[in-house]
Amino acid sequence: MTATHCPYCALQCAQTLTPDPAAGVNVAGRDFPTNRGGLCQKGWTSASVLRAPDRLTTPLVRGVDGELVPTSWDVALDLVALRLREIRSDHGADAVAVFGGGGLTNEKAYQLGKFARIALGTANIDYNGRFCMSSAAAAANRSLGVDRGLPFPLTDLGGAQAVLLLGSNLAETMPPSVAHLSGARAAGGLIVVDPRISATARLTENGGGIHLQPVPGTDLVVLLGLLHVVFSEGLDDPAYIAERTTGVDEAQRLAATWWPARVEQVTGIPETQLRSAAMLLASASPMRGGSGAYVLTGRGVEQSSQGTATVNAAINLSLALGLVGRVGSGYGAVTGQGNGQGGREHGQKSDQLPGYRMIDDPSAREHVAAVWGVDPAVIPGKGKPAVELLDSLGREGGPRALLVHGANVRVSAPNATHVGDRLDALDLLVVCDIVPSETARSADVVLPVLQWAEEEGTMTSLEGRILRRRKAIDPPEGARSELWVWRELAARLDAPGTWDIDAARVFDELARASEGGRADYSGLSHARLDAEPDLFWPCPAVKDGSAHPGTPRLFLDGFPTPDGRARFVAVDDRGPADDVRGEAPSHLVTGRVLQHYQSGAQTRRVEELVAASPGAFVEIHPRLADRHGIAPGDRVQLTSTRGVVTATARVTDAVRPDTVFMPFHWADEANVNRVTNDATDPVSGMPEFKVCAVTVARVGSPVPQANSPFASTTEVPA
pTM, 2 dp: 0.95
Residue 615, helix vs strand vs coil: coil
Give the amino acid at 610. Answer: V
The whole-chain average pLDDT of the chain stands at 95
What's the Cα-to-Cα distance from 167 to each of 154, 211, 690, 711, rounded to whole Å? 18, 12, 9, 28
Show the DSSP H helices in 534-678 as ranges. Answer: 607-612, 622-627
Q: At what angle do helices 503-514 and 106-114 cross, to 10 degrees?
A: 70
Q: What is the pLDDT of residue 710?
A: 30
Q: What is the pLDDT of residues 608-623, one digit of tens each?
A: 999 999 999 999 999 9
What's the Cα-to-Cα distance from 120 to each of 107, 358, 431, 484, rounded to whole Å? 18, 20, 16, 16
Residue by residue, DSSP assigns 231-242 as HHTT-S-HHHHH
Q: What is the pLDDT of residues 682-705, one digit of tens each?
A: 999 999 999 999 999 999 654 443
Q: What is the pLDDT of residue 344?
A: 87
CATH 2.40.40.20 fits 586-698, yes or no: yes
Residue 358, helix vs strand vs coil: strand
**Residue 715 clears pLDDT 90, i.e. is over it:** no
CATH of domain 145-333: 3.40.228.10
* Residues 39 and 13 sit within 8 Å (Cβ to Cβ): yes
Q: What is the pLDDT of residue 656?
A: 97
Quote the Cα angle for 105-177-621, to 5°: 105
Residue 394 CA to residue 292 CA, distance in Å, equals 52
**Residue 716 clears pLDDT 90, i.e. is over it:** no
Q: What is the pLDDT of residue 714?
A: 31
Q: What is the pLDDT of residues 331-347, one digit of tens each?
A: 999 988 989 899 888 99
CATH architecture of the domain formed by 60-131+339-463+479-536: 3-Layer(aba) Sandwich (3.40)
Q: What is the pLDDT of residues 86-101, one digit of tens each?
A: 999 999 999 999 999 9
Q: What is the pLDDT of residues 527-541, one digit of tens each?
A: 999 999 889 999 999
pLDDT-derived band at 671, boundaries 50, 70, 90:
very high
Q: β-strand 445-448 against 428-433: which pairing, if any?
A: parallel
Residue 116, helix vs strand vs coil: helix
**Residue 718 clears pLDDT 50, i.e. is over it:** no
What's the Cα-to-Cα distance from 583 to each of 9, 435, 705, 710, rounded to whole Å? 38, 40, 7, 12
pLDDT-derived band at 84, boundaries 50, 70, 90:
very high
Q: What is the pLDDT of residues 140-152, one digit of tens each?
A: 999 999 999 999 9
* Residues 342 and 109 sit within 8 Å (Cβ to Cβ): yes
pLDDT-derived band at 23, boundaries 50, 70, 90:
confident
CATH 2.20.25.90 fits 2-51, yes or no: yes
Q: What is the pLDDT of residues 449-463, one digit of tens each?
A: 999 999 999 999 999
The terminus-to-terminus CA distance of the chain in angstroms comes to: 55
Q: What is the pLDDT of residue 704?
A: 46
* Residues 689 and 677 sit within 8 Å (Cβ to Cβ): yes
Q: Phi first, then psi: what are they for 45, rounded to 5°?
A: -100, 10
Q: What is the pLDDT of residue 24?
A: 82
SS (H, E, C) 371-386: HHCCCHHHCCCCCCCH
* Residues 648 and 616 sit within 8 Å (Cβ to Cβ): yes
Minimal CA–CA distance to 715: which of 564, 579, 541, 586?
586
Chain center to CA of 430: 23
Q: What is the pLDDT of residues 563-590, one digit of tens each?
A: 999 999 999 999 999 999 999 999 999 9
Mean pLDDT of all residues in 601-607: 95
Residue 72: CA count within 13 A, CB half-sphere: 3
Lowest mean pLDDT among 20-29, 97-106, 374-383, 557-566: 20-29
**Residue 117 clears pLDDT 70, i.e. is over it:** yes
Q: What is the pLDDT of residue 324?
A: 98
Higher per-residue confidence, 544 vs 536: 536
Q: What is the pLDDT of residue 705?
A: 39
- Give 22's contacts (C-beta < 8 A, 6+ positions apart): none
What's the Cα-to-Cα distance from 586 to each of 220, 286, 384, 578, 678, rounded to whole Å? 20, 42, 32, 11, 18
Mean pLDDT of all residues in 374-390: 97
**Residue 184 clears pLDDT 50, i.e. is over it:** yes
The DSSP call for residue 680 is: B
Q: What is the pLDDT of residue 534?
A: 87
Q: Which H helix or E strand runs over 183?
A: helix 182-186
Q: What is the pLDDT of residue 22?
A: 78
Minimal CA–CA distance to 650: which of 624, 677, 627, 676?
624
**Residue 717 clears pLDDT 80, i.e. is over it:** no
* Residues 628 and 658 sit within 8 Å (Cβ to Cβ): no
Q: What is the domain partition of the chain in residue ranges?
A: 2-51, 60-131+339-463+479-536, 145-333, 586-698
